[in-house]
Amino acid sequence: MATEIATFGGGCFWCTEAVFREVKGVESVQSGYTGGHVPDPTYEQICEGTTGHAEVVRVRFDPDVISHRELLEIFFTIHDPTTLNRQGNDVGTQYRSVIHYHSSQQQATARSVIAEMAIVWDAPLVTELSAAETFYVAEDYHQDYFRQNPLQGYCAFVVAPKVAQFRSTFAERAVD
């Protein structure tokens, strides 16, 4: 089985990771950082907003089960691609909406989906599209954060509703 990698930034990676872990055909999800100028950044550095990195997830998926296009459709449903450097109360360039493509096919698909989504949203999209860069895996405590901390305040009030929205909107694509 050949897998592919997709990299998305849609605000806090806890939210994005939690949703993509629920998708049929997704083999693994890692939270991390990419798109900046500081090698091996830490979470504390990212939070300062001076490294240029975004909080992202790297999704390994089976394209025979779920396509990159379908992952992009989910991505555009679980975050607001019209708010520059912000998702809800999370503010800063590290929370920007971004797609890092890993092939020319992913780039073309992302451009097509962005054009389609521009019609759906009432405000202009600010989602960046750029080639995949060095991916730095976030600290261990960030991995699978929602499953390990479902009652933590942010998880209960921000992450859980996004997961529930995914499950209701994309029930056929959710892991049973």
The CA distance from 168 to 148, in Å, is 22
The pLDDT > 90 percentage for the chain reads 94
* Mean pLDDT of the residues in the chain: 95
Instruction: Please give the single-letter amino acid code of residue 32.
Output: G
- Whole-structure pTM over 0.85, yes or no? yes
For residue 163, the model assigns a pLDDT of: 94
**Choice among 12, 15, 47, 155 that is catalytic:** 12
Look at the domain 4-173 and name its fold.
Answer: Peptide Methionine Sulfoxide Reductase; Chain A (3.30.1060)
For residue 1, the model assigns a pLDDT of: 65
Q: In 42-159, which residue ranges form alpha helices assigned H by DSSP?
A: 43-48, 68-77, 104-120, 145-148, 153-154
pLDDT 10s digits, 119-171: 999 999 999 999 999 999 999 999 999 999 999 999 999 999 999 999 999 98
For residue 55, the model assigns a pLDDT of: 97
Instruction: Please give the single-letter amino acid code of residue 72.
Output: L
Length of the chain: 176
Which tokens hold the place of 18? 């939690």
Which tokens hold the place of 40? 């091996």
- Based on the residue annotation, tell me whether 47 is a catalytic residue of this protein: no
Question: Position of tokens 């779920």?
Answer: 66
Question: Position of tokens 């097509």?
Answer: 112
What residues does each domain of the chain span?
4-173
